[in-house]
């Protein structure tokens, strides 16, 4: 006569579930951390690619950098920094030639090189030409030349930074041919866009250099950048990041993370290219 095998008890099931939950609690943070590092690496690569495209544009135009102005007929540009360098990015030449043709690109298309994989606002707003990596208007709004105009040093000057593409109902666009302030709360993909003679201001916080003593302060005291704000709490006048610190592409090709606790004087000194400051921030 065969002996009847006892079934699994409730206590044994609970023990197995507890062990599995414990193992998941150990593994899940490691998986999330690996994912975050991967996304951060993708953003760093995109910021470096923007530097290379800017450098290539400059070398072809005798050291002249692209500017933030709407039209650049004298240099054959379409306006905006991003549109002028797009042909030097992977897939950008075809895009610059055919971007108005719906057979090539749908009307709500955004160029992948300009969209951060960590920017959750892009699918929320779902608008054409959105950009997560705005250009520093203090550099690209001054008819600058590379590297002669960078008197503070290329390693101490930000070219591009992270920024939510959709920020509290504002849209940051890399092609302003569709820009119409009467119908959309949209603007060119720049930051620190203000305080430049002869240029319109976009309500951004911008740096104000001082010669005695050498230093820089923001036009709105206390503001630098935001770390992980919600869409509704986003401040369009300053950059944002979904990481622990702000990723920035510098004029020497380096991509560095600025910590949340950086002083406002140091941060804004890194935004100017010729403020005469000696920023010590590493």
pLDDT tens-place string over residues 107-120: 778 899 999 999 99
DSSP string covering 77-137: B-SSHHHHHGGGSTTHHHHHHHTT-TTTS-TT---GGGS-TT-THHHHH--TTB-SS-EEH
Residue 4 included in any domain:
no
Strand partners, 241: 227
The alpha carbon of residue 220 and the mean position of all alpha carbons in its chain are separated, in whole angstroms, by 21
**Mean pLDDT of the region 4-30:** 72
pLDDT for res 245 = 95
Tell me if 96 is assigned to some domain.
Answer: yes
d(CA 62, CA 52): 15
- The domain of 96 spans 34-271
- DSSP category for residue 145: B
Tokens representing 171? 């849209």
Would 1 be classed as within a structural domain? no
CA–CA distance from 216 to each of 54, 162, 252, 268 (Å)? 26, 21, 21, 6
Q: In what order do the strands lie in the sheet with 166-167?
A: 166-167, 170-173, 186-188
In terms of C-beta density within 10 A (0-12 exposed, 13-18 middle, 19 or more buried), how is residue 128 classed?
middle
The Cα 122–Cα 220 span in angstroms is: 27
The number of folded domains in the chain is 1
φ/ψ of residue 42, rounded to 5 = -60, -40
Q: Which residue carries 């990041």 as its tokens?
A: 241
C-alpha distances in Å from residue 70, one per residue of 43, 80, 224, 244 = 27, 6, 27, 34
Rounded CA separation 217/275 (Å): 11
Query: What per-residue confidence (pLDDT) applies to 222?
Result: 94
Lowest mean pLDDT among 35-39, 162-166, 193-197, 275-279: 275-279
User: Is 82 part of a structural domain of the chain?
Assistant: yes
Q: Give pLDDT, residue 74.
A: 40
For residue 181, pLDDT over 50 is answered with no
Q: Looking at per-residue confidence, does 56 or 209 come out higher?
A: 56
pLDDT at 176 over 70: no
Rounded mean pLDDT, 49-70: 90
User: What is the residue-averaged pLDDT of the chain?
Assistant: 84
Please give the helix or strand (H or E) that residue 246 lies within, else none. Answer: strand 246-250
In a domain, 150, yes or no: yes
Residue 208, domain member (yes or no): yes
In a domain, 192, yes or no: yes
What does the chain come to in residues? 282
With a pLDDT cut of 90, the percent of the chain lying above it is: 51
- Within a domain: residue 104? yes
């Amino acid at each position: 006569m065969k002996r009847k095998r006892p079934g699994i008890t409730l206590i044994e099931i609970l023990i197995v579930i507890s062990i599995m939950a414990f193992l998941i609690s150990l593994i899940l943070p490691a998986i999330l951390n690996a994912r975050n590092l991967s996304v951060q690496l993708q953003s760093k690569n995109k910021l470096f690619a923007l530097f290379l495209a800017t450098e290539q544009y400059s070398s072809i135009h005798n050291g002249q950098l692209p500017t933030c102005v709407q039209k650049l007929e004298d240099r054959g540009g379409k306006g905006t920094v991003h549109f002028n360098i797009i042909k030097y990015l992977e897939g950008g030449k075809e895009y610059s030639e055919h971007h108005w043709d719906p057979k090539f690109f749908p009307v709500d298309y955004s160029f992948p090189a300009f969209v951060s994989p960590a920017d959750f606002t892009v699918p929320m707003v779902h608008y054409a030409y959105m950009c997560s990596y705005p250009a520093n208007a203090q550099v690209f709004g001054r008819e600058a030349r590379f590297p002669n105009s960078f008197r503070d040093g290329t390693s101490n000057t930000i070219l591009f930074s992270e920024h939510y593409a959709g920020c509290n109902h504002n849209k940051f666009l890399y092609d302003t041919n569709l820009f119409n302030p009467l119908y959309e709360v949209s603007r060119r993909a720049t930051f620190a866009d203000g305080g430049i003679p002869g240029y319109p201001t976009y309500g951004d916080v911008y740096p104000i250099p001082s010669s005695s003593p050498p230093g820089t302060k923001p036009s709105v005291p206390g503001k630098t950048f935001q770390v992980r704000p919600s869409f509704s709490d986003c401040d369009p006048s300053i950059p944002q990041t979904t990481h622990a610190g702000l990723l920035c592409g510098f004029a020497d090709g380096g991509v560095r993370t600025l910590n949340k606790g950086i002083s406002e004087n140091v941060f804004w000194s890194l935004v100017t290219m010729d403020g005469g400051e000696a920023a010590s921030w590493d």
